[in-house]
Structure 1
Amino acid sequence: MFCEQCEQTASGNGCHQWGACGKSPQVNAVQDLLVYCLRGLAGVVVKAKELGIDTREADRFTCESLFATMTNVNFDQKRFTKYIKKAIALREDLKAQIQSVAAITWSDISTYEPDYTESLVEQGQNYNLELIGKSGANVDIFSLKLTALYGIKGAASYAFHAYELGQEDESVYQFTQQVLATIDRQDLSLEDWVNLVLEIGKINFRAMELIDAGHTGTYGHPMPTSVPLNVKLGKAILVSGHDIKQLEAILKQTVDTDITVYTHGELLPAHGYPKLKEQYSHFYGHFGTAWQNQTKDFAKFPGAVVVTTNCLMPPHEHYEEKLFTLGPVGYAGLNYLPAKDDGSVDFTPVIEKAQELAGFTAESEYRQVTTGFARNAVLGVADQIIDAVKQGKIRHFFLVGGCDGAKPDRNYYAEFVDKVPDDCVVLTLACGKFRFFDKEMGDIGGIPRLLDVGQCNDAYSAIQIAIALANAFEVGVNEIPLSMIISWYEQKAVAILLTLLYLGIKDIRLGPTIPAFLSANVLQLLSEKYNLKPITTPDADLAACLS
């Protein structure tokens, strides 16, 4: 087993015996075999696109199946086997269409046929990317190949979200296939690979823009909204993950059932979308915090639980019967809700389980947090913000956000926010905010000092805020009083980091550790060009940012 794709790899040096996420070496190997098959499919898709052959089914499938290989998404070996079979079927169908108009000699990777009579685990181990690193390849190029693979996984997952919302862009699909097809190349220079990973940042920015268009076009622009953290009497369903479209489908199917729907994890910002709040009176509050606390949160929740996307943890036996997954998410033995031909999901089993369970038998004390400070909400008071900066009332902005995780050194982020001076404003997004999302920080002239921008993909919104403020002050983004303190965990965060670097944003502080897949030379290159640096201590980093 060889896996360096997430922040919580064993001892910070990669998982070699068992995944820190809970993934077995066997599942990891079959997952690696799927990635190998997708790389073989990609070369065929690229050629098909050149010939004008329709590849949309293969493009969508590639994004979904890459999403399934990300950290804490799918642990079901049988599901990966199904993905492998479909990847091969799509590849062969496209090859047949190509061969009807052009004679092509295919590479070994595009002709590989899994032997289903033998162990797919062993075949996956044979085709693990580690073999490229052991073949005498330059360690820095191998590092950038891994960065490219992990970054394109993140971008593909965002493209999958966008597709579900009816937003697609051929350039995103084409570049995704080109990156996968390029992984095997041995003729590119270090500079070529650096440029490629930065281009992943560009295409990821486009994918996040598509998600933003899908969300705001369907549900309206987020508005500052108070979200209850208490519970109501009665039957309940908890929806976790990121997928607002599937959350809406659950809301639609639970109208007039007397079931209250709560969000968990990264779905907290869904409460800020006005059309959801207006249409569904049974869409009430938020339960629990970040993904790594789900084993406690799900166990305590007295209703059905649906995980729509990452992050899923290996479930405990005492709640797995009420836990459901869908889309690319899976775990052997869990209830899985397949999509129909039109992409819709029937949530009847979830509703029946919620009605069977006790639900909440007592109300809890009212508490609330506020979300919905996306770009329209913040820029709607831009004049006040700019005036407050000019008058010295707001000294500095901090973007403190990203992924959360279980390591104790992630307490850095809560301590950092706790020590931010009273004349500074904190913007936050993604699940990293759950370290401090309910902290009372007050306001500056009516402007809240803690602004929840949204989900991880709402990094797009945060970037738009930064660009608008820079334009208002007639300076570059790196010249406004803004510091980015970023926490990473999985491959969506890798893609977002590449986006920030592609946009030329400097002085990012990254933690809690530097990715294991970045070689010393690659890290030095990023440090020299972008002043990317690891976090140190809250006191030292605050002093440096405010100096």
Structure 2
Amino acid sequence: MEAKGAKMFCYQCQETAGCKGCTQMGVCGKNPEVAAMQDLLIYVTKGLSAVTSCLRAEGERVESSINYLVTLNLFITITNANFDSQAIVSRIEETLKIKETLLAQLQSRGNLPAAALWQDTADHFVCKAAQVGILSTENEDIRSLRELITYGLKGLAAYQKHANVLGYENEEIDAFVQSTLAKLLDDSLTGDELTALALETGKWGVDGMALLDKANTETYGNPEMTKVDLGVRKNPGILISGHDLKDLEMLLEQTEGTGVDVYTHGEMLPAHYYPKFKKYAHFAGNYGNAWWKQKEEFTAFGGPILMTTNCVVPPKADYQARLFTTGATGVPGCVHIEAEADGTKDFSSLIELAKKCPAPQELEQGQIVGGFAHEQVFALADKVVAAVKSGAIRKFVVMAGCDGRMKSRDYYTEFAKALPQDTVILTAGCAKYKYIKLNLGDIAGIPRVLDAGQCNDSYSLALIALKLKEVFALDDVNELPIAYNIAWYEQKAVIVLLALLHLGVKNIHLGPTLPAFLSPNVAKVLVENFGIGTISTVEADLKKMIG
């Protein structure tokens, strides 16, 4: 099936065309055919979720495999994850097949929405996609709230997927995700009800990040302060990007003793902070920067690249044959590594290719210092508290989130450089690449940039804030000397934002633009109730946030 003639409207990422919506081709690189199939995959996943929610209401248990299917379906539609329309069509067909099986188990179909009952062949997928896309919700505010919740669920699903592959799951989170997807089909829900549902999504976002934190730390140890090399070695290498630590573990195991080194890229950098990975002598260092520079950096690397999660850009011809995908990712023309039934993956094709490739071309030298997740910061608590009480640290600035291509994002580099010497940056996610290599110094031995890790490790930043609130015996987290200047790009940043709102954090500055999917009325609610704002100039924002 080829989705020719598909129409497109997408505004789920920060770089959406004109801050309004992509209608001809996605800024991310996805074409209308892929966009249409992603819309349809979301629709049929909502239908499946309506069925699973009814089964739960009838007292039936939903198998983990079904929960994993819903999670992966959502993850596949995240920005910069999957550009393979045929792979997405296969997911739609599998979802419809499973939905039919579950429908037969229901005692009653009386209140099921149309999406739960829809069934058709691939020949009609394009037509159906045009009927159920984003713009099928006519009311602008209802549409805005539905998409805000959907994008939050996509981000939550990404974190769920990483926990699931490590053997951790939470049935309550799965049930919430599916019941919420079903509610997004209910035209009777009011704006107030959807707003409450968005905030509830933030609550489950906190739980989802806590589950992943537990999965990562119990499996690989608590991140610790670590110096990560930026240079290269003389051996051939494999570059691994994305977020999935289990994929990295399997790759390190399979490359041990082969003469092939492994380098991280982008969001995989924080893997170096985990104790368990430090036993691998061939775990070389970090290569390059944030995801959007990969076209130049992947060319220079010269060896095979493994994309484990979103953050893939449609590749240039000169390295397409060296780009491999796995998990939720997919790129036409690139080899996709499937997991076996037991979850293991065979990376021998990458290893054999690497042996035939030259060593990576050096981009830079030096080191990055990171590993400041919650337990490491708690270990430094006495130093931190003393520095705050003495006035050596006047303020913390949370600059977590995402990096991106737009020139306006240079603002975050300039903001970090302009911060007074008595301020400390708390960061997580690839936004750190805008300033982590600036050598901003330290305060009484505490680095002025404390990197907690990946975007999901924003959970650590929340725990640090709550710990400081406890230490200083404050009633409200907003009384802390913490400012929030967060860069966003895609849907995982949305669930982080909703999680912060659930925790009561106010006056968050979000940039470089507010989301296009926020209607004026929905944006007004966020501004009036939570103090959400955007960025302006470095000088004005320093005055506003630091004083």
Q: TM-score, normalised by structure 1?
A: 0.96
- Please state how far the C-alpha of 1:365 moved relative to its aligned partner: 6.9
Say if 2:134 and 2:143, in contact at 8 Å, map to a contact too: no
Q: Find 2:50's aligned residue among 31, 43, 51.
A: 43
Q: How far off its partner does 1:318 sit? A: 0.5
CA change 1:405–1:443 in 2 (3 A) is same
Alignment map for 1:358-437 (pairs within 5 Å):
358-360=358-360, 366-437=365-436
Shift in Å, 1:356: 1.6
Following the alignment from structure 1 to structure 2, what is the Cα–Cα distance between the partners of residues 105 and 490?
34
CA shift for structure 1 position 546: 1.9
SS of the aligned residue for 1:238 comes to strand
Unpaired runs of at least 5, structure 2: 1-7
Cα distance in 1, alignment partners of residues 395 and 70 from structure 2: 42
Aligned residue among 92, 104, 126 for 1:121:
126
User: Residue 29 in 1 paired to residue 36 in 2?
Assistant: yes
Identify the range of structure 1 (291-300 vs 183-192) with the bigger mean alpha-carbon deviation.
183-192
1:111 corresponds to which of 114, 117, 129: 117
Choose which of 5, 11, 22 in structure 2 pairs with 1:15.
Answer: 22
Cα separation, 2, equivalents of 1:450 and 1:53: 46
Query: Following TM superposition, by how much is the alpha carbon of 1:359 offset from its aligned partner in structure 2, in angstroms?
Result: 2.2
Distance 1:237 1:32 in 2: 34
Q: 1:107-136 deviations in whole A, cap 9, x for unaligned? A: 3211111232x2522321122131122xxx
Q: Per the alignment, in what secondary structure is the counterpart of residue 514 of structure 1?
A: coil
Q: Give 1:284's aligned residue.
A: 284
Number of the residue aligned with 1:75 = 83
- Cα distance in 2 for partners of 1:193, 1:472 equals 36
Partner of 1:486: 486
Q: What is the rounded CA distance, in whole Å, between the counterparts of 1:185 and 1:254 in structure 2?
A: 50
The SS at the match of 2:399 is strand
Q: Answer yes or no: is 1:295 the counterpart of 2:303.
A: no
1:306 maps to which residue?
Answer: 306
Question: Following the alignment from structure 2 to structure 1, what is the Cα–Cα distance between the partners of residues 111 and 457?
Answer: 43
Contact residue 49 and residue 55 of structure 1 kept, 8 A:
no
Say whether the 8 Å CA contact 1:268–1:371 is kept in structure 2. no
Distance in 2 (alpha carbons) for counterparts of 1:199 and 1:104: 27
| Secondary structure of the corresponding residue to residue 239 of structure 2 | strand
For 1:342 and 1:191, the matched residues in 2 are separated by 44
Partner of 1:464: 463
Counterpart for residue 93 of structure 1 = 101
Letter of the aligned partner of 1:258 in structure 2? G
Structure 2 counterpart of 1:166: 167
- The count of corresponding residues between Structure 1 and Structure 2 is 538
SS in 1 for 2:99: helix
- Deviation track 1:156-206 (CA, whole Å, cap 9, x = no partner) reads 111111111211111110010011101121222221111100111111111
Q: Secondary structure at the match of 2:426?
A: strand
Corresponding residue number in structure 2 for 1:197: 198
Does the CA contact (< 8 Å) of 2:370 and 2:452 recur in 1?
yes
> Quick one: distance in 1 between partners of 2:303 and 2:235?
9
Residue identity matched to 2:55: A
2:227 match: secondary structure: strand
Provide the rounded CA distance (Å) in 2 between the counterparts of 1:384 and 1:445: 8
Equivalent AA in structure 1 for residue 96 of structure 2: I
Match of 1:337 in 2: 337
1:208 alignment counterpart = 209
Give, as a single letter, the amino acid of the residue that structure 2 aligns with 1:114.
Answer: D
Amino acid at match of 1:171: E
Q: Which amino acid letter does the alignment assign opposite residue 109 of structure 1?
A: A
By how many angstroms is 1:363 displaced?
6.9
Per-residue CA deviation, residues 361-412 of structure 1 (Å, 9 max, x unaligned), is: x878741111101111111111111111111111111111201110000011
Contact 1:45 1:55 (C-alpha < 8 Å) held by counterparts: no
- The residue that corresponds to 1:153 in the other structure is 154
- Equivalent AA in structure 2 for residue 129 of structure 1: I
Q: What's the Cα RMSD here?
A: 1.3
| SS across alignment from 2:359 | coil
Aligned mates of 2:429, 2:383 — CA distance in 1: 26
Aligned counterparts, 1:178-257, within 5 A: 178-257=179-258
C-alpha displacement of 1:484: 0.9
CA contact under 8 A between 1:291 and 1:311: conserved in structure 2? yes
- Partners of 1:48 and 1:55 within 8 A in 2: no
Match of 2:10 in 1: 3
The aligned residue for residue 144 of structure 1 is 145
Using the size of structure 2 for normalisation, the TM-score is: 0.96
Matching residue of 2:267:
266
Long gaps (5+) in structure 1: none
CA drift at 1:272: 0.5
CA–CA separation in structure 2 for the residues paired with 1:108 and 1:121: 17
Post-superposition offset of 1:442: 1.3
The answer to whether residue 130 in structure 2 is matched with residue 131 in structure 1 is no
- Distance in 1 of aligned mates of 2:210 and 2:262: 28
Deviation at 1:448, TM superposition (A): 1.0
Deviation (angstroms), 1:54: 2.8
AA partner of residue 69 (structure 1): T
Shift in Å, 1:427: 1.2
For residues 112 and 348 of structure 1, the distance between their equivalents in structure 2, rounded to whole angstroms, comes to: 42
**Do structure 1's residue 474 and structure 2's residue 473 form an aligned pair?**
yes
CA contact (8 A) 2:113 2:185 kept: no
Show the counterpart of 2:516. Answer: 516
Take 2:14 and 2:185, find their aligned partners in 1: how far apart are those partners?
Answer: 25
Question: After superposition, what is the alpha-carbon deviation per residue over 1:503-545, rounded to whole angstroms, capped at 9, x for unaligned?
Answer: 1101100000000110111111111111111111111111111
User: Mean alpha-carbon deviation: is it higher for 302-311 or for 180-189?
Assistant: 180-189
State the distance in 2 between where 1:124 and 1:291 align.
Answer: 30
